[in-house]
Amino acid sequence: MTSEVATITAAAIAGMVALAGVVSGFFLGRRQVRDQAAVEHGQWLRGQRQDAYVALLDAWDTAVKEFQEEIDQGEYFDEIAAHEEARMGDSFWEDHEESTAAHVDRISEGVQRPLERVLLLGPELVDKACINLAEALEALGSSVRSKSGTSGWPNYDMYRDMYRNAGKARSAFLDASRESMRAAPRPGR
């Protein structure tokens, strides 16, 4: 082999090595940028989830407190009902049923947006707990409405059962959201 052929061969090999370096650098750089973007998005999503979970728990606690205040009115209801029924007749019971339904609907609406926000952000484990939370709130509201418009209102037994179930649903949501928040964002997910 002559020196010219050796030089050309060495130059060709060097060129191929350089080209391989450029191509691998390009792909590794793309991978690094994609991984960095995935981690940053994961951090952003994690912050959004944390805000949404806290907002939902705040709205939930407020709604449960307002349901309890509505039920607590039952302590004085017999005295008021007797007086108002004598004054208004059957329209008192109709008004009471409509008023109770309106209060329950208003209270429940305060939780709707935070629930939807959590459902948008996920993950699936939290979505399931969120759906259970929504169902527990609906059942709690139904227990407040139960027997409204009658002298048997409030239905304390039903309310106590639904209140216990609501507490379990809140604990399950808290556990699911805690597990979701503890998973750190990673590239390649």
101 CA to centre of own chain? 25
Q: What is the domain partition of the chain in residue ranges?
A: 3-182
Report the distance separating Cα 103 and Cα 109, nearest Å: 10
pLDDT given at position 95? 83
Report the distance separating Cα 140 and Cα 112, nearest Å: 15
- Residue ranges for the chain with pLDDT beneath 50: none
Query: Tokens for 93?
Result: 């019971």
Torsion of CA 116, 122, 126, 132, to 10 degrees: 30
DSSP 78-120: HHHHHHHHHHHTHHHHHHHHHHHHHHHHHHHHHHHHHHHHHHH
- The helix (H) or strand (E) run that includes residue 3 is helix 3-72
Query: Tokens for 145?
Result: 């409405």
CATH topology of domain 3-182: Four Helix Bundle (Hemerythrin (Met), subunit A) (1.20.120)
pLDDT given at position 28? 63
pLDDT given at position 61? 97
pLDDT given at position 21? 66
pTM for the model stands at: 0.77
pLDDT given at position 188? 58
Q: If 0-12 CB within 10 Å is exposed, 13-18 middle and 19+ buried, where does residue 26 land? A: exposed
The model's pLDDT over 17-64, given as tens digits with 9 standing for 90+, comes to: 666 666 666 666 666 767 677 778 778 888 999 999 999 999 999 999
pLDDT given at position 39? 72
pLDDT given at position 9? 76
Query: Tokens for 24?
Result: 């691998």
